[in-house]
Structure 1
Amino acid sequence: MPGSVRPITDERDGLLAYLAQMRYVLRLTAHGLSDEQARATPTASSLSVGGLVKHAATTERGWIQRVRDVPQTYGREDYLANFHLAEGETLQDVLDLYEEVAAETETAIAEVEDLGRPVPVPRDAPWFPQDVEAWSVRWVLLHLIQETARHAGHADIVRESIDGATAFPLMAAAEGWPETPWMKPWTPPVEAGR
């Protein structure tokens, strides 16, 4: 997938394409990382690349379950746990989860006839407004794009702090771009003594 969203055909296609692009750039921050590096929290925050991927996946799944009117059983402890890889959980586990969630989203949104259909506002977290009864499916998709983009930016900073890798060289490496005067694909740092 290139650095820009492909041409779109309509609103639904555009929303899904931009969400897919944001998922992709978030996933790119994990390219070439070990499980240990994916757990690393090298910045002032407690965020890790693996935790951010996991959080984005579980957040998207939660919103799509709301769109599908699936009852939620999600508390503060779940929220906090979803920012970290659990004991025994690997980076590949959360990347696979994110791929599964993306497919669920595509299926769920294909089933929605009207993107204006109301989705009840959650009442289980303090940041949700108490004076709004419902948002639309369209709002949910825009919110997911916003949320994923925000966390992709966090992950960019965490990744750069791990090994200096930045977005476009990672994309070039992941997609096999040739080296040009504009871009040198990322390569793993050479370890001392090798």
Structure 2
Amino acid sequence: MPGLAPPVADERTALLAFLAQQRQGLRVTAHGLTDEQARTPASASELSIAGLIKHAARCERGWTDLVLGRDGALVPAEDEPDGSEFVLGPDETLAGVLARYEEAARATDAVIAGIADLGRAVPVPPGMAWIPAEVAAWSVRWVLLHLIEETARHGGHADIIRESLDGATLYPLLAAAENWPDPWFQPWRPPVDRA
């Protein structure tokens, strides 16, 4: 059924399928937008659809780096110390941010495919203010569940922003982006320019 994660046979497949579904929900909020629309905040915050996708890509890379034990995992990039990871820079494009997100997703999926035990410990980096001091490690499973949670949260933010921009909502956008046969929703169409 379009718009839902496919049936799954095991835990790993389920976690990756639901993460893929949430990624697609976030990506599709950008369907049919120009760079300018994608960088436009639609509320009191400076969040934009492109900024949320940019952030999701960085987070996914950071969590994958943590699973692999790479130095600097989850540390803000030196060129984005103030939260600008949520803002599309003047030289960035929506297509570029979407490509980085796809690259991060492929990397995560490949890393997870190579880990035999989802219960394997993932040591917590020291000194992170947002991590409870008593937590020494998560599991790979926990990291995947957190990525699903984080992606779903930002997908919800992006849904609201998109609806504020042009009235488009998730299922009509999915029907248009994925070319659903016999859709239950009228596929989204770009608004007719009345100028």
Unmatched tracts of structure 1, length 5 or more: none
SS at structure 2 position matched to 1:152: helix
Deviation at 1:176, TM superposition (A): 1.6
Aligned 8 A contact 2:2 2:180 in 1: no
Structure-2-length-normalised TM-score: 0.93
Match of 1:187 in 2: 189
User: 1:161 and 1:106 mapped to 2: Cα distance?
Assistant: 32
Compared with structure 1, are the counterparts of its residues 39 and 124 closer, same or farther at alpha carbon in structure 2 (3 Å cutoff)? farther
Match of 2:27 in 1: 27
Matched, 1:139 2:142: yes
User: 1:93 and 1:124 mapped to 2: Cα distance?
Assistant: 32
Task: Please identify runs of 4+ aligned residues in structure 1 that moved more than 4 A.
Answer: none
Match of 2:133 among 108, 130, 133: 130
Match of 2:6 in 1: 6
Match of 1:105 in 2: 108
Deviation at 1:56, TM superposition (A): 0.5
User: 1:2 and 1:72 mapped to 2: Cα distance?
Assistant: 38
Q: What value does the CA root-mean-square deviation take over the aligned residues?
A: 1.7
User: 1:145 and 1:164 mapped to 2: Cα distance?
Assistant: 26
Aligned 8 A contact 1:178 1:185 in 2: no
Compared with structure 1, are the counterparts of its residues 174 and 163 closer, same or farther at alpha carbon in structure 2 (3 Å cutoff)? same
Aligned 8 A contact 1:54 1:98 in 2: yes
Residue-pair matches, total? 192
Unmatched tracts of structure 2, length 5 or more: none
Amino acid at match of 1:132: V
Match of 1:50 in 2: 50
Amino acid at match of 1:163: D
1:44-78 CA distance string (max 9 Å, x none): 22110000001011101100000001111623844
Paired-residue identity, %: 57
Matched, 1:148 2:144: no
Amino acid at match of 1:102: A
SS at structure 2 position matched to 1:82: helix
Amino acid at match of 2:132: P
Structure-1-length-normalised TM-score: 0.93
Match of 1:75 in 2: 76
